[in-house]
Structure 1
Amino acid sequence: MYLEIDEMERSTLTPLEQRLAGHLQPLYPDLDAVEFAQECLAHFGLSKDAPTPAPHRNLWDQSDVMLISYGDSLRSEREAPLRSLYGFLDAHLRDCISTVHILPFFPYSSDDGFSVMDYTTVNPSLGQWDDITNISRHFKIMGDLVINHCSSRSLWFENYKAGLEPGAGYFAEASPDMDLSAVVRPRTSPLLREVQTPDGERHVWCTFSHDQVDLDFRNPKVLLEFLRIIRLYLDKGIRWFRLDAVAFLWKIPGTPCINLPETHEVIRLLRLLIEHHSPDAVIITETNIPNRENLTYFGNANEAHLIYNFSLPPLLINTLVTGSCLHLKNWLMTMPPAQYGTAYLNFIASHDGIGLRPAEGLLSDWELDTLLSTMQRFGGRISSRTTADGESKPYEINISLWDSMRGTASHGPDQWQFARFMCGAAIMAALEGVPAYYIHSLFATENDEARVEHTGSFRSINRHIWQADDLEAALAGDTHHRQVFEAMRKLLNLRREQPAFHPNATMYTLHTGEQLFSFWRQSIDRRQSIFAIFNISDQPQTFNLSELNLILTDEWIDLVSGQAFENRVAQVTLMPYQYVWLSNRRVA
């Protein structure tokens, strides 16, 4: 039973207090929801009379392009890595990147930052809070809220083992005698870890690894800790919040412990507080799960502002190496347009691998096997997970995007690597949503085999660390790194000028055969239309302009090449992986 709020008490509450108490009641039914709501507001430094931001606001436009980078993806002996990162951004990317996702920059014990030891300090090997604040003055920053788990070497966990505060009661426990067979996990390691505490032997929950111990949000003290952490990040200039692995947040033995109603309630609660504190703040949920489950994290435009489009990477890479857009097109036609105030976050590559769970039900087992063997042929590795029945299944492909584009599934490596790579980047730039590019995709960094051998982790293959001077030399020389970097900057600058590429502009998928992937975008004010047509095969493909029903009174130009098309019934031939963006209005 909830501790109900009586009508007299309700009448004295502000709308914010009422809404907050409404979220807290189902999460903590044994607490006085009003008192706890007021405690949450105090921890967040938020007035109970804070004005409510208007709903369905688009906090982005076509100029928003995200870069994903570790704090030390670039290193120099002359300065801290975060300063090197800012220097590169300022010198080379100020005109084509709006937002920087700096992957966890806190002290950590494993998983390249995602085993956080201290949420409140910057890893001294990267820099300090002033470096983060400085970047935030020139770019929007997305920071990671590693909310599901923390390091087994954190003060919290050390205190948990000693029965001290803060930490005692902060971590999820379970008994080995419980039936946990339904629990969904992305790893093959044992779920429970045995530890000794003042109360005897306990078993803590470890969804990802035994160094990443899951926090117990059923304890209201854990929620309050994270409210203080979020407030600190806001004070330091972070406005975009990536909720890492949030789908696993709430644990109830006997259930799959993923996507539980309580998890969605926590996200709604965090959004309520964050947007009242900073109306320009944005929440992104990182939920590497099948597509239909992923879509639920939009809620009713009251949970995530943006969700990762996790099905895009495996489907787009599969499209480019098979020369068939059938599955990509069919999936795209099932995707609901994002409501105003929400948007998709599109990506092809990231610091993690290419997730395969989001391809479930979209690619057949045979097609997945073909994709896996093709990526292995190009130097990729395959990471696995354990299913509820104990079976080991492929979970993700670990490979650099550049190497994934070496060739095709049927013929292997070929001469079209650059064209294929840029075709994929251009598709992502044109789709509905905000595009996010991994820093190594801008440079076309190859597989880092040496780093895999050094760390023993397959994910390290796509986590190369560039020496800043070596990178500058590579971008100045006659290299594929320079070729890709210059082409990517040109592509992104072009994309940012087009109102029809606003993340919420209309998009319709076109039917132009298996080898031509096509869609139509129209700006929100309906003044600009763009027909984006991509040859996703290794053979020339032809289409007729008459198939597009171009408006005869408009002038049509390919934004990519600058070629004008006066003949509305002409045939157009695209070379392998060539693409056109036909627009009725060029925006200077």
Structure 2
Amino acid sequence: MMTTGSFPENMTDPVEHTAISEYRFHIENHLRIIYPDLDHTEFAQSLIDIMCPDAGECRTPETHQNHWTQRDIIMITYGDSLLTEGQPPLETLLNFAETFLQDTINGIHILPFFPYSSDDGFSIIDYQQVNEKLGDWSHINAIAKQFQLMSDLVINHCSSQSRWFEQFKRGTSPGKDYFFCATPEDDISKVVRPRTNELLQLIETPEGPRYVWCTFSHDQVDLNFANPELLKEIVKIIKLYLDHGVRIFRLDAIAFIWKVPGTSCLSLPETHEIVRLLRTLIQFVSPKAIIITETNIPNRENLAYFGNSNEAHAIYNFSLPPLLVNAMLRGSCQHLKTWMMSMPPALHGTTYLNFIASHDGIGLRPAEGLMSEEEIGEMVSMMEQFGGLTSMRSLAGGGMRPYEINISLFEAMKGTLDGEDEWQIERFLCAHAIMLALEGIPAIYIHSFLGTRNDHTAVEQTGRSRSINRHRWDYRHLLSVLEDESSTHSRVFQGLCHLINVRIRQPAFHPNATQFTLHLGDSVFAFWRQSMNRQQSIFAINNITNKEQIIPLSDINLIGTDSWVDLISGELYSDLHGDLVLNPYQVIWLTNLLDHD
């Protein structure tokens, strides 16, 4: 029996057995599941014509291939995080990356750089233009030539000021059929919401009143993927991004894109199939392109987006930020260890995207089931003491619950549950060292590189809690503080760059290298990585407390015939019967391979 997504073994015609025929075959299979009543052959060809107008450029992708190594580090940034008077912000961003990070990172995730009406870019007015306040496509192309370019594909919703929605309100094509509508009589009681606004928005149209679905805000109107013509428009947008050098696609809020009243409207089967379809459409044209799903949902549901290694190449490790912050606050890695032991190793061709700070806050949904409500409440309370804010979400059936903590990660590391202390920088670097050593690709927010503090002025100006962690730096001022080696910003930047520059030379830190959790007590979070050729082992040992910790080297089971060195400090360990003495928040990457790449 032939399963969905498999190529028929009995296809022997040498003319038909080509990349383009295989491309068509896979696309039709996806379409049969998403749109049962569609003419799948004709529609599949229309998608192929968009993505691969020259059939000779279509290439069959290799399966289970890792398109990444330990050298891959992504920086997350807005296009205007750095500002220079008289210069397009995207040009300033490239200058900064070339000057300070050329040998440290190789990928840049530019958050939505298109014209928008709200949500700092995630309410897109025009998918095909660069926001003129940032620059133009030539600036995007220049960044793509120097770094792997990661871009958001924001397709759950678009702006209420978009051309499509203006057409919807006028009752004209094509936009009049591009938005998902419901009625107040529909059962929406089970719908999972990340926000507290009313789900349905009443809009007057020439056909009468209609209620449009708004998952996030009334300015962000949800698109209707039940309409295949909308899908075709989205595919045109994907092709445009590929042509401008995008090689990593972040599928923003993808879990919400298919709606069926009476259900949770979250991660429905059609949603997963659309992800599979987008992967197929992209990888036959650009075999090394990567799809990353952004699904801020409980851990088990998030893992489902790997599919059978045929959906996302990578998924955001959303549980890591709240668990790691909690571990640092409590000086206990109990929950972090339990979670880590439960995480399945990513199969070849898939991996995790690890992050602990982003343009959004510290999501709390991914901590549900991993931390108690009381522990989450204590963490929220302490983050508020450190200057943070809390965003809420609506619960099915009524009520609200904390959805995310809005705070600069540097400020989140001010202290422990006992209050602020003097270990902020050390704690901050320790947290990043843990992330850098874990299985997966690290993504580091630009404001983590810079040790940026809470921006309460921005919150007052915008009225949005998330603005607290979206500071815009005057680039000349930034240069001056980075040049001052005694400044907090310089110390953080140099400390992070040192960790990264060590990390990218270690084969045992390949995103798919073996990983095992070590049990050295709750005060020391430790794990073992081994390179895929088994020549290098690294013991990542992290003191997550503000107290000295002593670990007998015999507890780590080091091979006595090897020489061991801490990659971070360069200290040699020849007496394997001695003790490992860890200062507060000290990190040791103990390896047996001295001649690393």
Gaps of 5+ in 1: none
Which amino acid is 2:546 matched to? D
Over residues 498-518 of structure 1, what are the superposed CA-to-partner deviations in whole Å (9 max), with x where a residue is unaligned? 000000000000000000000
Indicate conservation of the 8 Å contact 1:17/1:48, yes or no: no
Is it true that 1:540 corresponds to 2:548 in the alignment? yes
Aligned counterpart for 2:467 among listed residues 460, 481, 496 = 460
Q: Which residue of 2 aligns with 1:130?
A: 138
Q: Which residue of 2 aligns with 1:245?
A: 253
Residues 86-235 of structure 1: pairs in structure 2 closer than 5 A: 86-235=94-243
Identical aligned residues as a percent:
55
Over residues 274-293 of structure 1, what are the superposed CA-to-partner deviations in whole Å (9 max), with x where a residue is unaligned? 00000110000000000000
CA distance in 1, matches of 2:333, 2:435: 14
Which amino acid is 1:585 matched to? L
SS of the residue corresponding to residue 341 of structure 2 reads helix
Q: Which residue of 1 aligns with 2:428?
A: 421
Indicate conservation of the 8 Å contact 1:518/1:534, yes or no: yes
> How far apart are 1:45 and its partner, in Å?
2.6
CA distance in 1, matches of 2:36, 2:525: 51
Question: Measured at CA, do residues 367 and 396 of structure 1 come closer, stay the same or move farther in structure 2, by a change above 3 Å?
Answer: same
> How far apart are 1:78 and its partner, in Å?
2.9
CA distance in 2, matches of 1:572, 1:552: 15
Is it true that 1:433 corresponds to 2:440 in the alignment? yes
CA distance in 1, matches of 2:426, 2:294: 30
Number of equivalent positions: 582
Q: Which residue of 2 aligns with 1:258?
A: 266
Over residues 184-212 of structure 1, what are the superposed CA-to-partner deviations in whole Å (9 max), with x where a residue is unaligned? 11000000000011111000000000000
Q: Which residue of 1 aligns with 2:398?
A: 390
Which amino acid is 1:81 matched to? P
TM-score by length of 1: 0.97
> How far apart are 1:44 and its partner, in Å?
1.6
Indicate conservation of the 8 Å contact 1:144/1:244, yes or no: yes
Is it true that 1:579 corresponds to 2:587 in the alignment? yes
CA distance in 2, matches of 1:470, 1:51: 48
CA distance in 2, matches of 1:59, 1:104: 24
Quote the RMSD (CA, aligned, Å): 1.5
CA distance in 1, matches of 2:321, 2:125: 31
Indicate conservation of the 8 Å contact 1:16/1:48, yes or no: no
Which amino acid is 1:27 matched to? I
Indicate conservation of the 8 Å contact 2:508/2:531, yes or no: yes
> How far apart are 1:165 and its partner, in Å?
2.3
> How far apart are 1:15 and its partner, in Å?
2.1
Which amino acid is 1:453 matched to? E
SS of the residue corresponding to residue 319 of structure 1 reads helix
Q: Which residue of 1 aligns with 2:85?
A: 77
Over residues 205-231 of structure 1, what are the superposed CA-to-partner deviations in whole Å (9 max), with x where a residue is unaligned? 000000000000000111000100000
Residues 7-46 of structure 1: pairs in structure 2 closer than 5 A: 14-46=21-53
CA distance in 2, matches of 1:348, 1:228: 33
Over residues 7-47 of structure 1, what are the superposed CA-to-partner deviations in whole Å (9 max), with x where a residue is unaligned? 99999682221111110012112211111111111122355
Is it true that 1:268 corresponds to 2:276 in the alignment? yes
Which amino acid is 2:30 matched to? H
CA distance in 2, matches of 1:34, 1:385: 42
SS of the residue corresponding to residue 507 of structure 1 reads strand
SS of the residue corresponding to residue 39 of structure 1 reads helix
CA distance in 1, matches of 2:102, 2:327: 32
Over residues 312-361 of structure 1, what are the superposed CA-to-partner deviations in whole Å (9 max), with x where a residue is unaligned? 00000000111000000000000000000000000000000000000000
Which amino acid is 2:126 matched to? D
Over residues 533-571 of structure 1, what are the superposed CA-to-partner deviations in whole Å (9 max), with x where a residue is unaligned? 000011100001111111111110010110111011111
Q: Which residue of 2 aligns with 1:482?
A: 490
Which amino acid is 1:480 matched to? T
Q: Which residue of 2 aligns with 1:406?
A: 414
Q: Which residue of 2 aligns with 1:551?
A: 559
Is it true that 1:305 corresponds to 2:337 in the alignment? no
Over residues 446-469 of structure 1, what are the superposed CA-to-partner deviations in whole Å (9 max), with x where a residue is unaligned? 000000010000000000000100
SS of the residue corresponding to residue 239 of structure 1 reads strand
TM-score by length of 2: 0.96
Indicate conservation of the 8 Å contact 1:41/1:47, yes or no: no
Q: Which moved more, 1:47-56 or 1:350-359?
A: 47-56
Which amino acid is 2:32 matched to? Q
SS of the residue corresponding to residue 246 of structure 2 reads coil
Indicate conservation of the 8 Å contact 1:46/1:277, yes or no: no
Which amino acid is 1:85 matched to? L
Over residues 470-504 of structure 1, what are the superposed CA-to-partner deviations in whole Å (9 max), with x where a residue is unaligned? 11111112310011011111111011010000000
CA distance in 1, matches of 2:268, 2:427: 40
Q: Which moved more, 1:219-228 or 1:45-54?
A: 45-54
Is it true that 1:445 corresponds to 2:459 in the alignment? no
CA distance in 1, matches of 2:54, 2:143: 28
Indicate conservation of the 8 Å contact 2:59/2:287, yes or no: no
SS of the residue corresponding to residue 389 of structure 1 reads coil
Indicate conservation of the 8 Å contact 2:530/2:538, yes or no: yes
Question: Measured at CA, do residues 476 and 48 of structure 1 come closer, stay the same or move farther in structure 2, by a change above 3 Å?
Answer: same
Indicate conservation of the 8 Å contact 2:359/2:445, yes or no: yes
CA distance in 1, matches of 2:135, 2:221: 26
Aligned counterpart for 1:517 among listed residues 515, 521, 525 = 525
Indicate conservation of the 8 Å contact 1:149/1:215, yes or no: yes
SS of the residue corresponding to residue 137 of structure 1 reads helix
CA distance in 1, matches of 2:315, 2:528: 22
Q: Which residue of 1 aligns with 2:293?
A: 285
CA distance in 2, matches of 1:528, 1:486: 26
Q: Which moved more, 1:166-175 or 1:286-295?
A: 166-175
Which amino acid is 2:493 matched to? F
CA distance in 2, matches of 1:540, 1:81: 44
Which amino acid is 2:174 matched to? P
> How far apart are 1:51 and its partner, in Å?
2.8
SS of the residue corresponding to residue 352 of structure 1 reads coil
Aligned counterpart for 1:495 among listed residues 489, 500, 503 = 503
Which amino acid is 1:508 matched to? F
Which amino acid is 2:564 matched to? W
